[in-house]
Amino acid sequence: MTNRSDPIVRFHMLTNRGRTPMRADRSACGTLPVRAVRYCEALTSATAYGWWLFPPIDIEMLWDGTDIFWRCDDAPDWMPLLPSAQLPNYVAEFDALAPETLKGCSPPFLTALPEPGTVQIWTGLIAQTAPDWHLLVRSPANMPGAGGICLFEGIVETDRWFGPLFTNMRFTRSHMPVRLRADYPLVQVQPIPRHSYSNDTLDRMAVTPGPADLTVAQWDAYHHSIVEPNSRPNRSFGAYATTARKKRHQCPHGKEAAAE
């Protein structure tokens, strides 16, 4: 367990550019429908779960079916990714601050992976989590992404791995540029306890084979969740959201939690 005042994650920015990481918000940068934000607690809770990380610079990438090319404001001509590239002027920036033994060891910004149409991009960050907490790195939840690419998801043991935080992506179209903006989230990272994805936890699954096997208590729960509310046509909307929000602001013993 960690102290409530201790951070679960600390992001170390290794470049002097780009937006700082920020807490994901429930409206997905205002892109969710108003009705979803107001009434769909399941959707907004998932949207706000974690932190957004941004590309350190605006870039464009293009895959011609064989090779990957890229360009940015500081280097506007298309350049082949052979097989990796640094942020413009970053080598000197890194070497000026790194210890003598680490000069020349700056992490690459982009790397073409062996699989066709796949590339690794560095967020410009190192993430460090509290003991036994890891980070799920994924696409921003419930947000429209850049067209032409999809991100792989990965779980990084950031309580022991102190290295550049990358994400891997795959092109889904060729011969058309893909633009990544420095002011729009590239990935969402979500904290997960180590035990939550262990075999011991994930093997603890049961399946009820059919409705005849539901208990009386389970049928009553279905009635309470689905049937009874629909018997009141004039009921207020968002009862689930209201109840969930009240529970979220309560301590386990039912007392109101201190304001953050």
The answer to whether residues 93 and 16 belong to one domain is: yes
| Same-domain status, 57 and 115 | yes
pLDDT at residue number 5: 75
114 with 218, same domain? Answer: no
Residue 255 lies in a domain: no
Cis before 116? omega within 30: no
As a whole number of angstroms, the distance between CA 179 and CA 14 comes to: 23
**DSSP codes, 55-81:** -SS-EEEEE-SS-EEEEETTEEEEEE-
Query: What percentage of the chain reaches a pLDDT higher than 70?
Result: 89
Gap between the Cα atoms of 218 and 206, Å rounded: 15
Asked if 213 and 196 sit in the same domain, the reply is: no
Binned at pLDDT 50, 70 and 90, residue 6 comes out as confident
* 54 and 93 assigned to the same domain: yes
Task: Please give the helix or strand (H or E) that residue 94 lies within, else none.
Answer: helix 90-97
Q: How many CA atoms lie within 13 A of 143 on its CB side?
A: 24
- Is it the case that residue 23 has pLDDT exceeding 90? yes
The predicted pLDDT at position 68 comes to 98
For position 242, what pLDDT does the model report? Answer: 60
Same domain, yes or no: 94 and 220: no
Q: Are residues 184 and 236 in the same domain?
A: no
Number of domains in the chain: 2
Within-domain flag for 260: no
98, 142: one domain: yes
Alpha carbon distances (Å) from 235 to 211, 226, 229, 239: 29, 13, 7, 9
User: Which amino acid is residue 107, in one-letter code?
Assistant: P
- In this predicted model, what pLDDT tens digit does every residue of 141-185 receive, in sequence order? 999 988 999 999 999 999 999 999 999 999 999 999 999 999 999
Q: Is residue 76 part of a domain?
A: yes
Domain interval for residue 242: 208-248
3-state secondary structure of 34: helix
In a domain, 2, yes or no: no
Question: Could you tell me if 104 and 232 lie in one domain?
Answer: no
Q: Is-contact 210 145, C-beta < 8 A?
A: no
- Among the candidates 163, 183, 200, a domain finishes at 200
For residues 79 and 131, membership in a common domain is answered with yes
Report residue 139 as tokens: 């696409």
Verify that 37 and 157 share a domain, yes or no: yes
Q: Which CATH number covers residue 21?
A: 2.70.40.10
Q: Establish if 4 belongs to a structural domain.
A: no
> From CA 83, how far away is CA 18, in angstroms rounded?
23
CA 38 – CA 109 distance, rounded (Å): 39
What is the C-alpha R_g of the chain?
A: 23
Give domain status of residue 253, yes or no. Answer: no
Could you give the CA distance from residue 17 to residue 165 in angstroms, rounded to a whole number? 16
pLDDT digits (tens, 9 = 90+) for 106-141: 999 999 999 999 999 999 999 999 999 999 999 999
Residue 115 domain-assigned (yes or no): yes
56 found inside a domain: yes
Tens digits of residue pLDDT in 201-232: 999 999 999 999 999 999 999 999 889 888 88
- Does 228 lie in the same domain as 194? no
